């Protein structure tokens, strides 16, 4: 996917996937690379989905946030 972003003229690539090879692929054309990690980039979507499900179905939904540095 990084190659597609570079081909499209992108100047930065933001992902939740940490990959050493992607870092090197981004450096070659000078593209900014931000690997924010799965936990940090996905938890808010899961919380929003839980809230929508709770409101739609009238049920209690609990989100348990377990910190993960990756």
Q: Please, are residues 16 and 37 in contact by the beta-carbon 8 Å criterion?
A: yes
Q: Is 17 annotated as a binding residue?
A: no
Strand stretches in 1-70, DSSP E: 12-15, 32-35
Q: Is 28 annotated as a binding residue?
A: no
Q: Which residues are annotated as a binding site for a divalent metal cation?
A: 38, 42
Q: Which residues are annotated as a binding site?
A: 38, 42
């Amino acid at each position: 996917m990084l190659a597609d972003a570079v081909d499209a003229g992108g100047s930065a690539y933001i992902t939740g996937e940490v990959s050493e090879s992607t870092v090197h692929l981004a450096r070659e054309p000078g593209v900014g690379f931000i690997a924010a990690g799965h936990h940090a980039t996905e938890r808010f979507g899961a919380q929003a989905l839980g809230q929508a499900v709770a409101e739609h179905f009238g049920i209690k939904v609990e989100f348990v946030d377990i910190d993960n540095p990756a």
